[in-house]
Amino acid sequence: MTQPLLKVENLQVEFNSRRGKAMVLNGVNIEVQPGETLCVVGESGCGKSMTALALLRLIPSPPGKISGGRVLFHGEDLLTASEERMRQVRGNRISMIFQEPMTSLNPVFTVGDQIGESLRLHAGLNASEARTQAIAMLKQVGIPAPERRVDEYPHQLSGGMRQRVMIAIALACQPDILIADEPTTALDVTVQAQIFDLLRELQREKGTAILLITHDMGAVAEMADRVMVMYAGRIIEQGTAEQVLERPAHPYTQGLINCLPELGSSLQSERAELAEIEGMVPSIWELDKACAFRERCTHALEKCAQEAPPMFTLTHSSDTAPHMTACWLQLQQTTDQGQAA
Amino acid sequence: MLQTDRPQNQNLMKIEAPVDGPWREATRLFMRNPSAIAGLVLLGFVLLVAIAGPWVMGADPFEIRAAPLTAPFSEEAILGTDYLGRDVLTTLVYGGRATLLVGAIAAILSVSIGITLGAMAGYYGGRVDAVLMRITEFFQVLPALLFAMVVVTLFSPSLVTITLAIGVVSWTGTARLTRAEFMKYRNLEFVRAERSIGASHARIIWQVILPNALPPLIVSATLAIGAAILFEAGLSFLGLGDPNQMSWGLMIGSNRQYIFSGWWAVAFPGAAIFVTVLGVSLIGDGLNDSLNPKLRER
């Protein structure tokens, strides 16, 4: 394998408050290869967005604090880099788009100003060069009449157009990695598909790696090369999109996939009850050392309440890439198979 | 068919017409507001007289022109003379310069201090906020007039010390307003997005949040000018004005004993202050209406 573009090792983020200390991220390991799309999936509050913010050191502090680990970008540890250096990286080498296109743009500046801003900050362009480049970017993200739109204000654009503008801002400096934090959650379905198409197209052209954060399994199926499933601040399963979607190993991943309603079947027969994962994500204040999913897990073993399961590689005959999970049940089955063979 | 097509096209043209930015939109609304225009006219008149008047008159405001307390509308003095026989019109025109200058500069000073401290407190929060707000509270609980009097008497009254004194005692309101605005904006997504493209804190404070927070601050700055003019008049009235510099407050103050025998020497500078502050307030009100989207519907 080539050297990963981004390598996150044992990332830990804690929140401090009057109630004490809580681990929001607990030993997260991520590798992003150049040009690939890695999806991070999980329910609300599982630490997806925190992971994204931590990579750019943008965790609101207080109360948040990165308490351990390394974020190696091209081999350079961003967690020990100076604030000055971080500003050079943000928006230039690693950029980010947010969930809410309606509020992510500054209402008092034109979209041209805002696209041009990162070019002026990082590429040192002057105002007129930045404007020309902003028009070119608007064109690339598929906004009609870019020469006119460039002078418009955010309130004059629709949600989908604003998200396109956000993408234009994020990609203006041709970053190596684009972190997209639920980029389509606030948009309706047809626009979602357009935005995903656009991201894929731009990725092909520029070779940008995409770290897509989502709770939407449909988006995962559509976009992902590799998938990571997060639960309560830990990564509990990872593998290629095919492995995770077709042979989910962790009971939580299985639950997530079962929750997807099937459009066809529910119309034909009587509407089947929607599947759900019983219970709630445990509060970050209640986490202990054991498996965080055990309370909601239908297969929970005794061991699950005693110790957190380690990450291990599943052995499946057709696997060409490692498919890993952290679950006692799977570990037991795998070792049983190994002994039998 | 062609005939029915036409109006449709016109409708399209209307939709396609470029929409103005928020500032131009506010200017348009301001210009449509009659009381705001009245304010502009009043203040414009006062400014014109204060700037051009002394050139036209070309006289010394301290010069004695006629018998003391000559009645107004007489041949010697249109607006009469004061208790020393100085021409009220001349002193009024010269006095306007000092009053307006002190008002404007003191307001700029007060708003600058207020915005800077308020922005820091609101943006950084935490300890920075706590320290800056304690300082603000300290200045808030001091009786402003008394404090300004102490400052002026300590450093001998001159236009500079008066301006500084007014500026230093009157910034607290602006600071609190700015702080509230910054607290509102600092966690919004577009500010976080700005961080994520690598903007520095300074850039975010001055070039990202401040333009958004500006509308209420502009209104408050306008009203601060009015307040500073009144403050200056008050200090001068109490005899703490610059004695070598004619100002409206000084005129009222020095003539106050003669108010029954020569009302004009007090009434005209009083009216000048009234007109100026009224003009400034009307402009401030008009700005408030045009810059505050919630009031636009009225």
**A-B Cβ pairs (cutoff 8 Å, strict):** 75
Please answer whether residues A231 and A42 qualify as being in contact, where contact means their C-beta atoms are separated by less than 8 angstroms: yes
In tens digits, what is the pLDDT along chain B, a chain of 298 residues? Answer: 344 444 444 444 444 444 566 778 788 888 888 989 999 999 999 999 888 887 777 777 788 877 777 778 887 778 888 888 888 888 888 888 888 999 999 999 999 999 999 999 999 988 999 999 999 999 999 888 888 888 888 888 888 999 999 999 999 999 999 999 999 998 888 998 898 888 899 999 999 999 889 888 988 888 898 899 889 888 888 888 888 888 898 888 888 888 888 888 889 999 999 999 999 999 988 888 888 765 554 4
The encoded tokens of residue B40 equal 């502009």
Nearest-Cα distance to chain A for B48, in Å, is: 34
Kindly state whether residue B177 falls inside one of the protein's structural domains: yes
Helix (H, G, I), strand (E, B) or coil at A133: helix
Residues in A touching B190 (Cβ below 8 Å): 103-107
Kindly state whether residue B37 falls inside one of the protein's structural domains: no
Residues in A touching B19 (Cβ below 8 Å): 152-153, 156
In terms of CA atoms, which chain B residue is nearest residue A92?
B197
Cis ω before A62 (30° cut-off from 0): yes
Question: Which CATH class, in words, describes the domain spanning A6-234?
Answer: alpha beta
Kindly state whether residue B141 falls inside one of the protein's structural domains: yes
Kindly state whether residue B10 falls inside one of the protein's structural domains: no
User: What is the rounded distance in angstroms from the CA atom of residue B234 to the CA atom of residue A73?
Assistant: 64
* Domain layout of chain A by residue ranges: 6-234
Number of domains in chain B: 1
In terms of CA atoms, which chain B residue is nearest residue A179?
B196
The residue range of the domain holding B284 is 42-295
Q: SS3 sequence, chain B?
A: CHHHHHHHHHHHHHHHCCCCCHHHHHHHHHHCCHHHHHHHHHHHHHHHHHHHHHHHHCCCCCCECCCCCCCCCCCCCCCCECCCCEEHHHHHHHHHHHHHHHHHHHHHHHHHHHHHHHHHHHHHCHHHHHHHHHHHHHHHHCCHHHHHHHHHHHCCCCHHHHHHHHHHHCCHHHHHHHHHHHHHHHCCHHHHHHHHCCCCHHHHHHHHHHHHHHHHHHHHHHHHHHHHHHHHHHHHHCCCCCCCCCCHHHHHHHHHHHCCCCCHHHHHHHHHHHHHHHHHHHHHHHHHHHHCHHHCCC
Asked whether the beta carbons of residue A95 and residue B196 sit closer than 8 angstroms, the reply is: yes
| CATH at B115 | 1.10.3720.10
Helix (H, G, I), strand (E, B) or coil at A177: strand
ipTM of the complex as predicted: 0.79
Kindly state whether residue B131 falls inside one of the protein's structural domains: yes
Q: What is the dihedral angle through the alpha carbons of B167, B172, B173, B176, rounded to the nearest 10 degrees?
A: 140
Residues in B touching A106 (Cβ below 8 Å): 190, 194, 208, 211-212
| Residues in A lying within 8 Å of B, measured between beta carbons | 56, 58, 60, 62, 86-92, 95-96, 98-100, 103-110, 117-118, 121-122, 148, 151-153, 156, 166, 169-170
